[in-house]
A and B are shown apart, each in its own frame.
Chain A
């Protein structure tokens, strides 16, 4: 086995194991930490594929920014571990979870089958350098969606501030 293969399987195993912990763990804090490990391991896989830029973005955005917020909220609300009865969930929830799980397995299976036929193998020299990503992102094809997303995020931010600070803004809490 080449070094790349060894590293790939190592990262893959860590990602899978920690992903199982995310779901299996009853304590939300443990789940959150396990999710961080999963995201980090995935970033390692991206790095092995030669896309250091994507790997680094994965860590900055998901493992870094988003998960810090998750943990902050979990700590602030001091969420307790859920007990077994709660965790079991209702029948509807279970059915939905099963259906979604089956759908995911089918998707992955289909993708693997396609790859095995060699239908759309990934080109060897996949260029994900910062320059290339920027060129694609700001090309006429995606520029509109990109700008629309940023406006959406801004609107969400303003909305969150308005909701959280409603009393403050109207001077009710004085």
Chain B
């Protein structure tokens, strides 16, 4: 086997493993979210299907699979059918450059726990996340329904207001690490928890948490679906597997935002104290922390009003992110 073929084979294996891992994580997350949310609201949540209700995602999957698929009359059929696919593809694509750990040795071969090591990894994530809005716009517009259209409109406005802040929140870390490569930014945080970026770049971290939640369309930024005002927003008209795909995209987004946060702000797979070994398990722990935080937010905060959302994005987040960049740049140059 030539070197190219070998590299291709390794990449292929990584793709299959990562894909299935994310699918598994997604289905477990749907159950975890409902259970945890229920406990926060003094309810029990789904607990009948299998032990503790763990088989609920399987039951849901089977149900959605066998449901009738309805394409509304007057919908733009092709775009309507394509939108969930676009949503899933863009959601999964960002995970391609997210490292899950350092390198491991498998069969005497060094394998990086990352699908693609790009020298512009951070920018790649930014690019892909800027594409993810199209799925929502497509779904909202193609269904030809005023509620979905409102969802799509809100979503695009929200995305370009918060994406800027999201991108700017990373600039400070890039300045500190002197690289767009995610592994370099993780390596830059070596030496224990007090070197991690969430402390060194506290304003950037806060901006990231807010903008990231908005990017994932999670409460309190779930205006694109806002079930109290827009029925179900952009996915009102979807049923069956296409609805499931949209759900999947939303959860994978949440996983991506948590994974990026874990890498950029919490030192990725690095141990919090120097005498413990670095391991992918740390990364998973941080990832789950991020996911729990999302559920916690949903159980705690009410939804923003549309004008509040815009005001906050442009008048608070953006200036904070800009000031942080200026301060960081000054420190990097003068130190």
**How far is it, in angstroms, between the C-alpha of A27 and the C-alpha of B152 when the chains are bound?**
18
List the count of A-B residue pairs having beta carbons below 8 Å apart. Answer: 73
CB of B243 closer than 8 Å to a CB of A? no
Contact assessment for A75 and B127 in the assembled complex, using a CB-CB cutoff below 8 Å: no
* Interface window among A55-63, A96-104, A141-149: A55-63
| Of B18-26, B28-36, B153-161, B264-272, the one touching chain A | B153-161
Tell me how many residues of B have a C-beta within 8 Å of chain A: 28
Q: Does A76 interact with chain B (Cβ within 8 Å)?
A: yes
Does B247 belong to the interface (CB within 8 Å)?
no
Q: How far is the CB of B117 from chain A (nearest CB, A)?
A: 11
Centre residue among A52, A57, A65, A129 by max chain B CB count within 10 A:
A52
Q: Which of A29-37, A109-117, A152-160 contacts B (4 or more CB under 8 A)?
A: A29-37
Mark each residue of chain B from 123 to 161: 1 if its CB lies under 8 Å from any CB of chain A, else 0: 110111011011001100100000001001100110110
- Inter-chain CA distance A76–B154, complex, in Å, is 10
Which of B8, B120, B131 makes the CB contact (< 8 A) with A52? B120
- Decide: B119 and A52 in contact? CB cutoff 8 A: yes
A165 at the interface (CB under 8 A from B): no
Tell me how far the C-beta of B205 lies from the nearest C-beta in chain A, rounded to whole angstroms: 22
- List the A residue with the shortest CB-CB distance to B137: A71
Q: Judging by beta carbons under 8 Å apart, are A59 and B127 in contact?
A: yes
CA of A76 to CA of B153 in the docked complex: distance in angstroms? 7
CA distance A40 to B132 in the complex (A): 13
Q: A53-B123, A68-B159, A75-B152 are in contact. Are A130 and B130 (CB under 8 A)?
A: no
Task: Tell which of A57, A65, A68 has the most Cβ of chain B within 10 Å.
Answer: A68
Which A residues touch B221, using CB under 8 A?
none
B130 proximity list for chain A (CB < 8 A): 59-60, 63-65, 68
Residues of A near B128 (CB, < 8 A) are 59
- Nearest chain B CB to A53 CB, angstrom units: 5
In whole angstroms, what is the CA distance A53 to B123 when docked? 8
- Binary interface profile of B, 52-85, with partner A (CB < 8 Å = 1, else 0)? 0000000000000000000000001001000000
Tell me whether B180 is interfacial, beta carbon within 8 Å: yes
- Between A and B, 21 residue pairs with Cβ closer than 8 Å are A30-B76, A30-B79, A33-B134, A36-B131, A36-B134, A40-B131, A52-B124, A53-B119, A59-B131, A60-B123, A60-B126, A60-B130, A64-B130, A65-B130, A65-B160, A68-B156, A71-B134, A71-B141, A71-B156, A75-B141, A75-B153
Q: A33-B138, A63-B130, A64-B127 are in contact. List 15 more A-B contacts (CB 8 A).
A: A29-B76, A29-B141, A30-B76, A33-B79, A36-B131, A56-B120, A56-B126, A60-B123, A63-B131, A65-B130, A67-B134, A68-B160, A72-B156, A75-B156, A130-B120
